[in-house]
Amino acid sequence: MGATDPVDAVLWVLVGLPALAGAALLLGGRRAERAAAPAATAVAVALAVPAAVAAVHRPAVTAPALPGIPFGLAVDGLAAIGVCTLVAVFAAVVVFSAGEREGAGGRSRYYGLLLLFAAAMLATVTATDLFTLLMAWEVMGATSYGLIAFHWRHPRTGSSAAVSFLTTRTADLGMYAAAGAALAGGARGLDLGELAGVSGPWDHVVAGGLLAAALGKAAQLPFSFWLSRAMDGPSPVSALLHSATMVAAGGYLLLRVEPALAATGWAGPAAAWIGASTALVMGAVACVQHDLKQLLAASTSAQLGFVVLAAGVGGVAGGAAQFAAHAAAKSLLFLVAGLWLARLGTKHLAELRGAARGHPLAGTCFTAGALALGGMPPLSLWAAKDLVLAAAEPPGLHAAGLAASALAAGYAGVALAAVWSSPAPAASVRTAGGAGPGDARHAFAERLPLIALATAAVVTGALALPAVGHAWSLLLGRPGAPAPGLGEAAVSALIAVVVLAAVMLIGIRRGVPAEAAERRGVRPLRAWLGLEPAAGALVVAPVLAAARGLAAFDDRVVDRAVTGAASGVPRLAGVVGRRVEPAVEAVVAAVATGARGLGDYARRPQTGQAHQYYAQAVTALLVAALVFVLAGAVM
């Protein structure tokens, strides 16, 4: 380790370049407004060079940080996948944002935060110890806050950003605890590679803490609701942070620390089952959304459930494939959703009817992404999901995974049906009256990222080829990773095709059901199972009540006790003044009177007559002699 090899410095460039560029834009403020988009684009494109070098060369660097805990970055197979995925999606999102003129009114803030986020995400995927990881991890959360609240004048975005940040930070407490437990359990320098060997009982704290942090970031149950609120941010931000990368970092973390999960015996299965449940439940939630971004967000939770499942069963190769494939497909879908939101002024599925017909290029790319998302063979997520499920040995888990795949085909079908069905009369009016459809208006800067991401979402399906799958496992250092059999691949393919076709057929014929006409059971699903109100009632409300109670206690009891004790002093002084003082004075007066009386007596013998003095002297001598005699007798 260290800087023995000059090529290692490429890692500092990889993380430092976007960090410095982002900081410069943020500090530049209004002066950097015009330069922001070109500068960010240049950095995003330039990052490809250090990313490629890092992926090939596998550098590692450390710098001293805390006593006994270094700041360390390194690239291994998994990190190479993470770096390349982030750099690719980041470039696509930045180029698209520049083309869409996103970030109006605060470009330096928009691109500055995006660049800072990229740096933090790159540090997250390359971190070698818990200190570095936690730093990068929380900076990602803060940039997410800033980007969700980008349109800060809107009354809702601020609270959405806060809900997102605070929910994920709640889960992050687990990572703080894991760091402490790792130190206590003897992991040198909090190194991630040593977490599996942490001594008991700290190993349980490490695994549990990291699991909690990852579940929060990956919007798994029960934390999923924050992702719904995160959708109040700009669409390219949703494409980058809240689907492809930051949220996915939760799954990525579990892949990274999979040995530590497995070592406890319980954390692996727990992760697997939580991932599978999230894939199922959030899949169902996604199927009934009326808002395209909400549908995509719920599907993000569901798809990342497969990554979490993979980490839980030790299927790192499958999980990494799912991570990368989902990033390409989902960021593409969000970008198109953002495009339509800008062009058509809506993200409501009912109003998006026929959107794909009006924008053939965007529609085609959207279709490619949605088909991949639905697990259509031979596209990327079909191959990735089969890799994941091949590692999921317990039959119940496997069946849950297959059911979740069916739901994925379902929500993909819902979205496709909406955008390909014939436009409703109202919607066509809106389209005609808007900026006007037509690909001719799409700038090159918008087309290129869409086409590139669509291509990636399609060709990653090559993982299903045994040779490619084997090479992928080798890249991840897991040569013996289980590969899906032909039968399994056929079953999952069949499920996807049948469900997707059925949903699309029904959907195109019926259109999006009106809210009034829906069945009763659907409403809680559409409201994300009421998870946010539940968190509000179970966590936020009691904490706020405790805060108010304690504040009142502080004012009325603690403070009053002090002021009471303090005001006791003057009262005591009053008592002393009124009671004690006169008494003391009386005693003094009595002593004085007594002394005067004694003085009177003392004056009596002074008669001035000599014979009386002699008599007194004799008496005194006799008394003295008596005392002597008595004292001598006693002694």
Partner 1 sequence: MLSVVVFLPLLAAGVLLAAPRLSARAVLTTWTAAAAVDLVLVGVLWSGYVDSGGKGTAGTRLAGPTAYETDLEWIPSLGSGYHIGVDGLSLPLVAMTAVLFLACAVYSLRDRPERPRGYAAVFLALQTVSTGLFVALDLLLFFVFFDLSIALMYFVIAGWGHGDPARSALRFFLYTFVGSLALLVGFIGLYLAADPHTFDMVDLAAQNPLGGRAAAGGAVLLAVGLGLAVKTPIVPFHTWLPPAHTDAPAVGSAILAGVLLKMGAYGFIRIALPILPEAWRAWAPAIALIGAVSVLYGALVALAQNDFKRMVAYTSVNHMGYVVLGLGAAGTAAAGTAPAAAELAITGAAVQLVSHGLLTGALFLLAGVLYTRGGGYDMGAYSGLAGPAPRFAAVLAVAVFGSLGLPGLSGFIAEFQVFTGGLGLAPVPTALALPGILITAALLLRALQRLLLGPRVLPPGTGFGDLRPQESAAIVPLLALSVVIGLLPRTLLDVLAPAAEAVAALVLR
136 binds partner 1 (CB under 8 A): yes
Please state, in angstroms and rounded to a whole number, the distance separating the CA atoms of residues 52 and 30: 34
Q: What are the residues facing 191 on neighbouring strands? A: 129
Least Å from the CB of residue 186 to partner 1 = 10
Backbone dihedral angles phi then psi of residue 187, each to the nearest 5 degrees = -80, 110
Which residues from 199-258 bind partner 1, rule CB under 8 A? 202, 205
CB of 267 to partner 1, least distance (A): 18
Contact assessment for residue 407 and residue 289, using Cβ atoms and an 8 Å cutoff: no
Q: Are 327 and 89 in contact (CB under 8 A)?
A: yes
How far is Cα 525 from Cα 290, in angstroms, rounded to an integer? 11
159 binds partner 1 (CB under 8 A): yes
Please, what is the minimum distance in Å from the beta carbon of residue 341 to partner 1?
Answer: 22
Minimum CB distance to partner 1 smaller for 155 or for 487: 155
Nearer to partner 1, 443 or 546 (CB): 546
Phi-psi region of 70 (alpha: psi -120 to 50; beta: other; left: phi over 0): beta
Q: From the list 505, 551, 573, 629, which residue makes contact with partner 1 (rule: CB under 8 A)?
A: 551
Token readout for 488 is 């399994």
Q: Using CB under 8 A, which of the segments 81-89, 167-175, 246-254, 619-627 binds partner 1?
A: 167-175
Cβ proximity of 363 and 442 under 8 Å: no
- Rounded to the nearest angstrom, the gap between the alpha carbon of residue 212 and the centroid of all alpha carbons in its chain is 10
Task: List the one residue out of 166, 404, 399, 391 whose CA is nearest residue 299.
Answer: 404
How near is the Cβ of 91 to partner 1 at its closest, in Å?
A: 24
Stretch that binds partner 1, among 415-423, 496-504, 525-533, 552-560 (CB under 8 A): 552-560
Closer of 166 and 403 to partner 1 (Cβ): 166
DSSP string, 514-580: PGGGS-TTHHHHHTGGGHHHHHIIIIIHHHHHHHHHHHHHIIIIIHHHHHHHHHHHHHHHHHIIIII
CB of 562 to partner 1, least distance (A): 5
Strands 60-66 and 69-74: antiparallel
CB 563, min distance to partner 1, A: 8
> Is residue 360 close enough to count as binding partner 1 by CB under 8 A?
no
Tell me if 62 contacts partner 1 by CB under 8 A: no
CB of 21 to partner 1, least distance (A): 16
Closest CA to 115 of 72, 85, 70, 146: 146
Least separation in angstroms between CB 86 and partner 1: 19
Scanning 174-182, 346-354, 471-479, 618-626 for contacts with partner 1 by CB under 8 A, the matching segment is: 174-182
Among 4, 6, 64, 487, binds partner 1 (CB under 8 A): 64
Q: Are 332 and 88 spatial neighbours (Cβ–Cβ below 8 Å)?
A: no
- Of 187 and 298, CB closest to partner 1: 187
Q: What is the DSSP string of 208-223?
A: HHHHHHHHHHTT-TTT
Q: Is 68 in the site for partner 1 (CB under 8 A)?
A: yes
Question: DSSP secondary structure string, 327-366?
Answer: HHHHHHHHHHHHHHHHHHS--BTTTTTTHHHHSHHHHHHH
Cα(628)–Cα(632) distance, integer angstroms: 6
Q: Is 173 in the site for partner 1 (CB under 8 A)?
A: yes
Contact call for residue 138 and partner 1 (CB under 8 A):
yes
Angle between helices 48-57 and 36-46 (to 10 degrees): 20
Residue 162 interacts with partner 1 (CB under 8 A): yes or no: yes
**Which of 9, 46, 53, 65 touches partner 1 (CB under 8 A)?**
65
Binding of residue 127 to partner 1 (CB under 8 A) = no
Q: Is 589 one of the binding residues for partner 1 (CB under 8 A)?
A: no
Asked if residue 309 binds partner 1 (CB under 8 A), the reply is no
DSSP 423: P
Largest Cα–Cα separation, the chain: 149
Beta bridge partner(s), residue 66: 69
User: Would you say 202 or 420 has its CB closer to partner 1?
Assistant: 202
Q: 534 or 543, CB closer to partner 1?
A: 543
Helical axes 425-433 vs 316-344, angle rounded to 10°: 70
C-alpha dihedral, 475 to 479 to 481 to 485, nearest 10°:
100
Residues that bind partner 1 (rule: CB under 8 A) add up to a total of 55
Question: Rule CB under 8 A: is residue 24 a binding residue for partner 1?
Answer: no
Task: Considering only residues 468 through 487, tell me which ones interact with partner 1, judged by CB under 8 A.
Answer: none
Burial of 161 (0-12, 13-18, 19+ CB in 10 A): buried
622 binds partner 1 (CB under 8 A): no
Q: Applying CB under 8 A, does 20 fall inside the site for partner 1?
A: no
Decide: 272 and 392 in contact? Cβ < 8 Å: yes
- Kindly tell me which of 127 and 389 has the beta carbon lying closer to partner 1: 127
Selected binder of partner 1 within 5, 515, 559, 581 (CB under 8 A): 559
Binding track, positions 508-547, relative to partner 1; x by CB under 8 A: -----------------------------------xx-xx
Looking up tokens 């169902």, which residue turns up?
Answer: 284
Q: Is 497 in the site for partner 1 (CB under 8 A)?
A: no
Query: Is residue 581 near partner 1 by the rule CB under 8 A?
Result: no
**Region from 128-136, 406-414, 456-464, 476-484 binding partner 1, contact rule CB under 8 A:** 128-136
- Tokens at residue 174, please? 């687990």
Q: How far apart are the first and last CA of the chain?
A: 95
Among 169, 442, 470, 526, binds partner 1 (CB under 8 A): 169
User: Which one of 93-101, 150-158, 246-254, 308-316 is the stretch in contact with partner 1 (CB under 8 A)?
Assistant: 150-158
SS3 75: coil
- Residue 145 lies near partner 1 (rule: CB under 8 A): yes
Nearer to partner 1, 26 or 79 (CB): 26
Q: What's the rounded Cα separation, in Å, for the pair 292 and 128?
A: 37
| Residue closer to partner 1, measured from CB, 393 or 555 | 555
Provide the mask over 180-199, with x wherever binding to partner 1 is found by CB under 8 A and - wherever it is not: xx-xxx----x---------
Q: Candidates 9, 20, 53, 135: give the one binding partner 1 (CB under 8 A).
A: 135
Phi then psi dihedrals of residue 471, to 5 deg: -60, -40
Binding site for partner 1 (CB under 8 A): 26, 29-30, 64-69, 131, 134-136, 138-139, 142, 145-146, 149, 152-155, 157-159, 162, 165-166, 169-170, 173, 176-177, 179-181, 183-185, 190, 202, 205, 543-544, 546-548, 550-551, 554, 558-559, 562, 566
